[in-house]
Structure 1
Amino acid sequence: MIKFFRKIRRNLLSEGKTGKYLKYAIGEIILVVIGILIALQINNWNENRKNEEQGIIQKKALKIELENDLETLTSDLAYVQKDLKINKSFAERLSSKTSNLDTLVKIVRYEYVAPYSSLNELNKTTFNSLESTNKLGLLGEELTKNVQNYYNTRDDGIEVLSGNRELYFSLCEPMILKYPINWSSIRGHLQDIYWEKINKRTLYGGFNGLLTMRIFILEVRKRVVENLITKTNHLLKEL
């Protein structure tokens, strides 16, 4: 094809047809420009197609992770509801007119479970990968915004839960060190002697604060997890 165009140019010049040659040269330039534009358009189309395919792949990856996270959140909500019910029952019993300091000792020593499980880790692999490589745009403008808002909200909620858990343990530690409870390593006669000599009024003050804090952070955790479940379901529908 290139040889064909060169031959035409040579013939026009050899015949002295300069005007026609110039017109032809301009036409040839226009054809080259059109060819380049077409090539660029095809390249852009290919890139867009690749980005769309990558976007579909990343959406599927996000969806799988969020479905797994939804199971984790649902399981955690069940744990929170159960633990909240147990600890509220302690508060109700201790608030009853028939309760006394022996009721308090019974609950603290034999029934109260001090350990407090944290929310299992949620997955952010796909989101972190897209964010670190500046490829969140593959999801589309609107979805990208919603995904970013979702993970920001989730991170804020988890940070609140983590801070509350640390606060609870700051109250729990001195109680555990001072009063042997149902999962203590040392049991039997020696523990019996210890409990006979404790100051029950001091126990009341410490346990009241601990139980109040636990119920409070469980209520907060319930609201946070319920909110995350709702938002996760909404985002899954968008994906």
Structure 2
Amino acid sequence: MRRRLSTSAHDEEMEKANGKSPPSRLCFLATLAAMFWIMIFYFHFTVLSSNPISIPEQSVPFPSISSKSQRISEAYEALELLKMMAKPKPKPSDVHLDTHKAPEVFPFTRALQTIENNTDPCGGRYIYVHDLPSRFNADMLRDCRQLSLWTNMCKFTSNAGLGPPLENVEGVFSNTGWYATNQFAVDVIFNNRMKQYECLTKDSSIAAAFFVPFYAGFDIALSLGIQHLS
């Protein structure tokens, strides 16, 4: 033991004398890591680059629009077939009863039948006039001075609503047929003309038309002077 210790001590003294230091472990680890990465790069560039791994492409089949529409149409056809199968078939007795069923009668059936009556000159031309309370027509004519705040409407309601004849001083108009008619008196004119119609009827079931003698124009004129009317 003494010889070995003396020998190692002698070697250390010799190395110190020569100026050399013992190699450290850090240099050894760095060399080992460099060799490891060199081997990895060599394997990558020589082996993997020469034989690349190819992944086969697989096409994913997508259902086409035509196939979807075909399936939908087939589903609808199946539903219609099920409905037809579920619908009960009429019995022979029911069919026999339907053939002898009375025709439906509508409110205007009699009015249409009058057209086919060649002996009736008013067939298909009857008019039914509703009988309204007087406040919707006659009372307005009686209180004609209240129809307008600015104009005396009594002269315009005369002559069956036509008004007074126009003065023809300069001879511009013909001597007959021209009247000073007010626009609100049109309902009065229609009502008086309707009273002269030859095919009036009291039976509304044979009437081809209906007339309501309501003087709407005068009713509006009564409301024109009211403030804050909404």
What TM bracket, shorter-length normalisation? under 0.3
Greater RCO between the two (CA within 8 Å, min separation 6)? 1
TM-score in terms of structure 2 length: 0.24
